[in-house]
Amino acid sequence: MNNFGLYCITDNHPNPLPIIKNWIECGVKMIQFRNKNLDDKIFADIAWEIRKLTWGTDSKFIINDRIEIAKEIDADGIHLGQDDIKESEFTVFQDLDGLRKYLGGQNNRIGNEKIVGLSSHSYEEAIRTYKMKPDYLAIGPFYFTPTHDDYKPVGYDTIAQVVQEVKDIPVVTIGGINSENLDEVLKTGVKNVAMIREVNTMDKNLIMNLKSKIK
C-alpha cells in the first residue's frame, strides 16, 4: 500500500455524510467512519450511505472496529485497535490474511485486497503490531487528545523512530494534531497523518491546505 497523506476520521456527529462528501470532493484518499455511540443498525445504515458516496472515487472507505458491517457494506477496509484485536471476533480469523479473505466482496473480484490497518500506542507495541503485517500501521496519540484520554502521548522521538524502522508499509500518526502543530509532526518524517477534530468541518480551504502539507 502506498502513502496516502491526510487520513480523515469522523467524530461522533449523528450525520457525518455532508462532511464526508466534502472530504471526497477535496480528494482525501483515506476516510474512516468511526462512531462509538451508534448501535449497529444505525451505524450500518450510515456506512451504506458512505459506501455509495465513495464508490467510483479515489477515496478509500475504512470502517472502524465493526468487522461484520465492513463485510456487509463492502467497505474498502477495516481499522482495528489493540483492544479490538484481543477482544473482538478478529481472533476467529487467526491472522490478517484470514480477515482479508473473510471480508471478500466486490474488490476481491476486481483484484484488490481489502485494507487492514492496526493501531499502536508505544514503540514496543508498534513493532509488535508491525510483525502482524497490516497494510498500514497507526501510532499515537502524538499529543494529548480527548478521543483517547487514557493513553499517554507517544511524542516526537517515538514517531521518528518508528518511521525509520517501518519502511515497507505506511506509518500514520494521530492524536491532537491540527493546523498549528502539523509542521512539527511532519519533521518526524511521517508521510501520513490522521485527524478527527480538525477535519470535521465544511471548510474546503482547510482540508486542501492540510492535504498540500502532508506528502
Rounded CA gap, 146 and 175, in Å? 9
| Residue pLDDT, tens place only, 45-92 | 999 999 999 999 999 999 999 999 999 999 999 999 987 776 555 666
| Residue pLDDT, tens place only, 91-133 | 667 788 888 888 986 555 554 689 999 999 999 999 999 999 9
| Residue pLDDT, tens place only, 165-190 | 999 999 999 999 999 999 999 999 99
Q: Which long-range contacts (CB under 8 A, 24 or more apart) does 184-187 make?
A: 184/156, 185/142, 185/159, 186/213, 186/214, 187/156
